[in-house]
Amino acid sequence: MDILTWTYILVGLSFALYIGIAIWSRAGSTKEFYVAGGGVSPLANGMATAADWMSAASFISMAGLISFAGYDGSVYLMGWTGGYVLLALLLAPYLRKFGKFTVPDFVGDRYYSNKARVVAVICALFISFTYVAGQMRGVGIVFSRYLEVDINTGVIIGMCIVFFYAVLGGMKGITYTQVAQYCVLIFAFMVPAIFVSMQLTGNPFPQLGLGGTVEDGTYLLDKLDGVLTELGFTAYTSGQKPMIDMFAITLALMVGTAGLPHVIVRFFTVPRVKDARLSAGFALVFIAILYTTAPAVAAFGIYNAIDSVAEKPVDDLPKWVENWKQTELIKIDDKNGDGVVQYVADPEINELDIDKDIMVLANPEIAELPNWVVGLVAAGGMAAALSTAAGLLLVISTSVSRDLVKNFNPGISDKKELMIARGAAAVAVVVAGYFGVNPPGFVAQVVAFAFGLAAASFFPVIIMGIFSKRMNKEGAIAGMLTGLVFTLSYIVYFKFGTELFGVAPESLAAENWLFGISPEGIGSFGMLLNFIVSFAVSLFTPPPPAEVQEMVEEIRIPRGAGAAQDH
């Protein structure tokens, strides 16, 4: 069977599975819609969290990003896993004990202020919308490359699927589809990685293959370092980023991960505090399987690509190069007309341009794997994008129905609230789809926003809410606003300064960054500011009321968590 048939079969089967699960696990009450009834097992929640977290970017783009960044790519690996240590140790168990449905719920109650709640809702909506637009785009790209349909048709099909199970099933439907999606995506990521590792290094474990030897007996990484330096690039195992920026970006990604609302809410769905701790552990295991394999895929990919294309005759390239040239993900331009492809660091004479997404998408073809593996990768990419999109849509709909509507009209019935939640999810799907079809030119840039804002706003405010009894609403609001405004302005200035304010591009260059910290890493500085301002302000303003202090003591003790409450 050819690639296209296999892809249709595998993607079709996986979609049928998701829809089947959605019908089986419809939500009947707001509690089922918001937190899946609060009875999800830690193992299932761990898997669902992993799928929720690993987006189209993790699945499709991250390995390729590392291929070209080498050691500098470590910021993503450490940043997007280390955040789970913070989440497990500092946030998840206490938020579970608190026992409500959303992050703005916690902020509003702990800081006894609807103003704080509204600021939190705005942050949650902003973070989730920037993220979800990227996911819908990811679905469209996978559709167009593998199923040969138009990107926009792909986005619309993706919208319908997500609409179906997110709107119908709420958190309950999402949880069980995410478990299925995790299985699909991890299988799809690992199969080609294991094949390629066997071929290149003879080791079935890609994690070990990365440290293994290639055909001629030299270590893969040493060989890669040698080849890249010869072509004028930085050695694979050493980086270009200054240490302070590596530090800041890693920290911002870790803290941002721990502060992302769609990840945090997953820990409201387990029955006990103990389960929240354990399920963060399971989530990290499931994520680590992909995240320790990705650097191996990255190194194998760049090694294979250079090996099969560089210095080869232009009219006799492997078949996969021809296939992917049509999608413009590989561009070859024989500038000096010598009939041979030159791949070098100098852009003036370089003749080969490889898009980062190739490393995962074309991996099975590069390694000449059977056609069904290619179809599998398509289904995996789709699973990664759909599961994350669904989790984000839920945060959006909950923020509207619960944190805004219910909070300001406490009298509405459960049934009506559920209807509003479904309606909000439906509107959110359509808005996300719109951004998927008409992507704002800055989708890649806004990721820095999402993490930076989560790092500078949610993370400190939640941590202080748990670990400091003295922290009051004045401190928290001042801190949140300072962190937000500072981080937002820094990113906007350095990312869009030229377009928006007509700043000369030279004055936005790296040497003008504050302490050499890039916009991607500035969230860690924003977080620091948030902490400092909060503490300073809280010292000069009255302590929180006695019942709030009691609540803080209460959430620190595991016993008596019970199920998440309805009111």
Partner 1 sequence: MNHQEKMKAYWRKNVKILLSLLAVWFTVSFGFGIILVDTFNKIQVGGFKLGFWFAQQGSIYVFVVLVFVYVWLLNRLDREFDVHE
Q: What is the amino acid identity at position 507?
A: S
Residue 114 sits in the site that holds partner 1 (CB under 8 A) = no
Residue 109 sits in the site that holds partner 1 (CB under 8 A) = no
Please name which of 272, 331, 266 lies closest in space to residue 53, comparing C-alpha atoms: 266
Reported residue count of the chain is: 567
Part of the chain binding partner 1 (CB under 8 A), chosen from 178-186, 276-284, 330-338, 350-358:
276-284
State both tokens at 365: 């073809």
CA distance 383 to 173: 15
CA distance 105 to 118: 10
CB of 174 to partner 1, least distance (A): 24
**Cβ proximity to partner 1, 222 vs 414, nearer residue:** 222
R_g (Cα) of the chain, nearest Å:
24
CB of 131 to partner 1, least distance (A): 23
State both tokens at 267: 């820990």
Bridge partners of residue 313, in order along the sequence? 340
Among 285, 340, 430, 500, binds partner 1 (CB under 8 A): 285
**Residue 540 burial (10 A CB sphere; 0-12, 13-18, 19+):** exposed
Among 81, 387, 482, 534, binds partner 1 (CB under 8 A): 81
3-state secondary structure of 350: coil
Could you write out the DSSP letters of every residue in 256-288?
HHHT-HHHHGGGGSSSSHHHHHHHHHHHHHHHH
CB of 444 to partner 1, least distance (A): 22
Residue 71 sits in the site that holds partner 1 (CB under 8 A) = yes
Residue 219 sits in the site that holds partner 1 (CB under 8 A) = yes
Residue 546 sits in the site that holds partner 1 (CB under 8 A) = no
Residue 41 sits in the site that holds partner 1 (CB under 8 A) = no
Among 280, 330, 477, 533, binds partner 1 (CB under 8 A): 280
Part of the chain binding partner 1 (CB under 8 A), chosen from 86-94, 342-350, 383-391, 439-447:
86-94
Stretch 355-414 residues interacting with partner 1 (CB under 8 A): none
Please name which of 345, 133, 376, 316 lies closest in space to residue 235, comparing C-alpha atoms: 345
**Cβ proximity to partner 1, 149 vs 235, nearer residue:** 235
Residue 89 sits in the site that holds partner 1 (CB under 8 A) = yes
Helices and strands counted in the chain (H then E): 27, 2
Q: Are 236 and 244 in contact (CB under 8 A)?
A: no
**Residue 141 burial (10 A CB sphere; 0-12, 13-18, 19+):** buried
* Residue 330 backbone dihedrals phi, psi, to 5 degrees: -125, 130
3-state DSSP of 183-197: HHHHHHHHHHHHHHH
State both tokens at 148: 């040969």
Looking up tokens 């990919």, which residue turns up?
A: 301
**Cβ proximity to partner 1, 244 vs 427, nearer residue:** 244
Which x/- pattern over 222-251 shows residues binding partner 1 (rule: CB under 8 A)? Answer: x--------------xx----x--xx--xx
Residue 489 sits in the site that holds partner 1 (CB under 8 A) = no
Among 12, 28, 211, 232, binds partner 1 (CB under 8 A): 211
Residue 207 sits in the site that holds partner 1 (CB under 8 A) = yes
Residue 455 sits in the site that holds partner 1 (CB under 8 A) = no
**Cβ proximity to partner 1, 285 vs 509, nearer residue:** 285
Residue 549 sits in the site that holds partner 1 (CB under 8 A) = no
Residue 288 sits in the site that holds partner 1 (CB under 8 A) = yes
Please name which of 21, 26, 24, 47 lies closest in space to residue 36, comparing C-alpha atoms: 26
Binding region for partner 1 (CB under 8 A): 66, 71, 73-74, 77-78, 81-82, 84-85, 88-90, 93, 207, 210-213, 219-222, 237-238, 243, 246-247, 250-251, 272-274, 277-278, 280-281, 284-285, 288, 291-292, 295, 467, 553, 556-561
